[in-house]
Amino acid sequence: MRGEKKLQSYAAVAVSVAMSAGLAGAGARAQEQTQTELPPVQVTAQAKKAAAKKRKAAPAAAAQPSPAVEAEPVASTEAAEETRGNLSSDGGVDGYRATRTSTATKTDTPLKDIPQSITVVPKELAKDQGSRDMRTALSYVPGIVVGQGEGHRDAPTIRGVSTTADFFVDGVRDDVQYFRDLYNVDRIEVLKGPNAMIFGRGGGGGVINRVTKKAEGERIYEATTTYGSFDTKRVEVDAGQAISNDFAFRILGMYEDSGSYRDFVDLERYGINPKIMFRPDDNTKVHLAYEYFRDDRTVDRGIPSDSRTGKPAKTDDSTFFGNPDDSYMYFKSHVATATIEHKFDNGVQVKNHTQYGDYEKFYQNVYANSALGNAGTITLGAYNSLMERESIFNQTDVSAKVDMGSGIRHTLLAGVELGHQQTDTLRDPVSGNYGLADGWNPVVPFDDPVTFTSPPWGTKEGPLNRTELTLAGVYLQDQLEIGRYFEVIGGIRFDRFDLDFSNSDGAAEARVDEVWSPRVGVVFKPLEQLSLYASYSKSFLPFSGEQFSTLSAANADMRPEEFLNREIGFKWDVAPRLSFTGALFMLDRENQLVAIGGGESAQIGKTRTEGGELTLTGYVTDNWEVVAGYGYQVAEVLEGGRTVSSTTGNEVALVPRHTFSLWNKYHFMPNWAAAVGVVSRSDMYASIDNTVTLPGFARLDAALFWDINENLAAQLNVENVLDTEYYSTAHNNNNITPGSPRAYFLTVTSRF
């Protein structure tokens, strides 16, 4: 009740701010003579296919952008003035290359006008690479390592910052811990560096936003079936069309039942996502959607290290450690969304997005909890955890364009975000119950590490914990164009983060964080095809943690962690359909809690990540598409405590100094294409104590594509063509995931 009253109070403030911003923008924009209408709902797939064929027929030297790219605004043109500020964006996607986003600024903006490193993975690229989930889709993104996540969640490390909560769907927070599927995703946008001005708390190293497929009126009836190694079986459906000029529907669904190269490991997951879109009038568009998603799988935490070598223990890549019968997870979610977009006659645009989610997750695992030593045995660990979360978020954005004359133009944004989250957790650590007296021996031989005897579950169960979070954020942003050469983007956000904690043992704590998050960037465009930029941004994370699980009497008054990013870079269209980008950055993380001796701790911890990135995306020729990326990073602990076990000077875990990826697709016949990909990285540490090293590796992938006819297509993906032995990731020193051996996957897509 307390959280609901606070939310109602914040809602009143939000409405007032949004109305004020809208009135101000309307007055400033009343002088404009032109306006951009919302796109009509009726879009034909035939038109898109005809445009694609026309692009393929054009000679490489004279290749022109696709219709989406032709609409790309240039800051010095009148088209830029008319388009900049639209709240919706299709990403300007042309094959593997995206040219626009409305996520990074909440206004539809060309990527080359945003002073930030951004990587976009369109659906075509993800499909060609055989990606079905977030882990595989991010494997070709430079500078990112996806952690093991204890075998039950996505856990990427971005610019030296590990996260389980910096995920978003259509710009709205998706912070529950689970494995995200791609069946309903149009593209994945990876925004590097702190992003609190747009997204609020967290996002210290970056954020990952999934842009979902929409009901826009395109007629599409498609079924995709995948079968492959390790008993992989999967089917996806995508069906939709316009019912009238003002109403459209779309239904997306998926079912998968697959095994693994790891012994005893399998998964079953399915989801359904119906959507509708309708237009009450010419200037208003409403999107409604609901998703049910379920994921059941074996929780696999990999293999241990060898204490004598400081590397992963030598064993078969399929060997399971622990009890597979007692290592499992289920996750289910119900998510409903409603989005309303309206454009006033004076050009002011308003977008309101509401998302409600109900989530439940349980996982249990028995896993390797020690390194292999001279005794030839492994000690096991075990625990389980139940989580239930209910979330509601509402975002209101108001944007307007103002032409001041003399080449000076503003794109103004004002917004409010409100949210309430209630989370219940219950954990059974099974601590203090190991031993033969309990009927379970946690010590197993390394050469026979599987046990089917259960730990004594329920004998040491922890309390039921509840957290209630009420949040409110208000933000302002200005994208200022100064002639054709300069653009400045500046914004600031204020967040109030109000958290209450209680549990069944009678403990209760509360804290309130009020934080300002600035962002400023400058873009210089000496040529229309080239932009140079510099930026500064800041983010924060309350000391309760990204899952609100660390609030206690000892830390209730501690300051939020801070993330400061300084970055310079360039974005260059080296050809009409080929983009080359680069960035250099320095990211500091401060206010981390570390031990200082005598049983005391202090908020003096600091890490720094420095590095750079290069990417090349698009068409080298009309028949040759490429995505290439290189990242260099050094992430070090500048202050890690003042005890014998201090980590000062150590490197941050899961941050290789070098990452490289390359994916080439070549159309060698009208209906045939082939692709070759490489994923490579140098050594990295499994944990911040730097005692276990995961060796570097290079993996070769390949694919073959056959458009049988206009309604039927097939592709064969081969992962790890050379059957390279490697270790893909880890959670800690003794939870290390071996890479997959050679695997084959056949996918057939039927269109009706």
In which residue are the tokens 């934080």 written?
515
**SS3 string of 63-74?**
CCCCHHHHCCCC
Pick from 676, 707, 675, 752: which is nearest to 52 by CA? 707
Residues 337-361: tens digit of each pLDDT: 999 999 999 999 999 999 999 999 9
Q: What is the pLDDT of residue 458?
A: 84
Average pLDDT over residues 209-233: 97
Q: What is d(CA 565, CA 590) in angstroms, rounded to the nearest whole number? A: 12
Scanning 593-709, the segments in alpha helix (DSSP H) are none
3-state secondary structure of 222: strand
Q: Distance between CA atoms of 185 and 19, rounded to whole angstroms?
A: 33
| Total length of the chain | 752
Checking if the pLDDT of 12 tops 80, the result is no
> CA angle, 538 as apex, 532 and 541 as ends, to 5°?
145
Q: Alpha-carbon distance 327 to 366, whole Å?
A: 6
pLDDT tier at 77 (50, 70, 90 boundaries)?
Answer: very low
Question: What is the bridge-based pairing of β-strands 735-738 and 727-732?
Answer: antiparallel
Position 286 in a domain? yes
Q: Is 624 exposed, middle or buried (0-12, 13-18, 19+ CB in 10 A)?
A: middle
Question: What is the C-alpha to C-alpha distance for residues 428 and 460, in angstroms, rounded to an integer?
Answer: 6
Question: What is the mean pLDDT of the segment spanning 442-466?
Answer: 90
Q: 498 in helix, strand or coil?
A: strand
Instruction: Could you list the beta-strand ranges (E) of 133-246.
Output: 144-146, 156-158, 161-162, 167-169, 172-173, 185-192, 206-212, 220-228, 232-244
Does the structure show a pLDDT above 70 at 44?
Answer: no
* pLDDT > 60? residue 365: yes
d(C-alpha 351, C-alpha 491), whole Å: 19
Q: Which two tokens stand for residue 370?
A: 């020690």
Tell me the mean pLDDT in the region 472-486.
96
Q: In the predicted model, what is the mean pLDDT of residues 184-199?
A: 94
DSSP code for 450? B
* pLDDT tens track for 642-690: 888 899 999 999 999 999 999 999 999 999 999 999 999 999 999 999 9
| Distance of alpha carbon 609 from alpha carbon 212, whole angstroms | 31
DSSP bridge pairs for 402: 410
Residues 6+ apart with CB under 8 A from 486: 522, 523, 524, 525
Residue of 741, 698, 736, 697 lying closest to 261 (CA atoms): 741
The tally of CA atoms less than 13 A away on the side-chain side of residue 119 is 29
Which residue has 């009927």 as its token pair?
A: 439
Among 128, 119, 103, 48, smallest CA distance to 617 is for: 119
> pLDDT tens for residues 499-543?
999 999 888 999 999 999 999 999 999 999 999 999 999 999 988
Residue 436 pLDDT more than 60?
Answer: no
pTM, entire model: 0.88
Q: Is the pLDDT of residue 68 over 70?
A: no
Is the per-residue pLDDT at 244 higher than 70? Answer: yes
Q: How many structural domains does the chain have? A: 1
* 608, two tokens: 């720094």
Please choose, from the candidates 602, 85, 63, 56, the residue with its C-alpha nearest in 3D space to the C-alpha of residue 343: 85
Q: Which of 158, 179, 175, 159 is nearest to 167 (CA)?
A: 175
CATH code, domain with 513: 2.40.170.20
Q: Which residue has the tokens 């300051």?
A: 559
Mean pLDDT of 39-67: 42
3-class DSSP string for 403-424: EEECCEEEEEEEEEEEEEEEEE
Identify whether 679 is part of a domain. Answer: no
19 sits in which H/E element: helix 2-29
86 — pLDDT class (breaks 50, 70, 90):
low
In-domain check, residue 433: yes
Look at residue 401 and tell me if it is in a domain: yes
Q: What is the rounded CA–CA span in Å between residue 144 and residue 306?
A: 26
Dihedrals φ, ψ of 509, to 5°? -140, 160
Quick check: 739 pLDDT over 80?
yes
Q: Report the SS3 class of residue 324.
A: helix
What residue has token string 């026309």?
Answer: 54
- CB contact set of 61 (below 8 Å; sequence gap of 6+): none
Copy the structure tokens of residue 748: 């057939």
Nearest-CA neighbor of 654 among 310, 149, 145? 145
Tokens representing 659?
Answer: 């990452």
In a domain, 359, yes or no: yes
CA dihedral (716, 717, 721, 723) in degrees, to 10, reads: -110
pLDDT at 478: 97
Band (83; pLDDT cuts 50, 70, 90): very low
- Measured between its terminal Cα atoms, the distance across the chain in Å is 51
Q: What is the pLDDT of residue 203?
A: 87
**Greatest extent of the chain over all pairs of C-alpha atoms, in Å:** 84
Q: What percent of the chain has pLDDT over 70?
A: 87
Instruction: Indicate whether 59 pLDDT > 50.
Output: no
In a domain, 709, yes or no: no
On whether the CB atoms of residues 713 and 225 are closer than 8 A, the answer is no
Mean pLDDT over all residues of the chain?
A: 88
* pLDDT over threshold 80, residue 27: no
For residue 328, the enclosing domain spans 211-535
- pLDDT of 417 higher than 70: yes
322 forms bridges with which residues in the sheet?
450
Tens digit of pLDDT for each residue in 134-170?
A: 999 999 999 899 999 999 999 999 999 999 999 999 9
